[in-house]
Amino acid sequence: MKKVLVFNGSIRKTGNTAHLIKHFLDGCRQSTDQIEVIEAHKVNLDFCAGCLTGSDPLCMFK
């Protein structure tokens, strides 16, 4: 059994990338049920501000 991980990096919920991924997954579902989709528009990503203060508990510059 194969596992499929798809990362949709587009911020558009119904854009061309989402449309292509839908068709790709339709084909994948014929051979596996272990599919995970990560969509950029649903993930809360906070980027480094480059402040170099280390005030964030998860800061890599601490």
- Provide the number of structural domains found in the chain: 1
Q: Which residue range forms the structural domain that includes residue 50? A: 1-62
- Report the pLDDT value the prediction gives residue 55, as an integer from 0 to 100: 74
In percent, the amount of the chain with pLDDT more than 90 equals: 50
Exposure string of 2-38, with b = 16+ CB inside 10 Å and e = fewer, is: eeeeeebebeeeeeeeeeebeeeeeebeeeeeeeeee
Which of the pair, 32 or 56, is modelled with greater confidence? 32
What's the chain's average pLDDT? 85
In percent, the amount of the chain with pLDDT more than 70 equals: 85
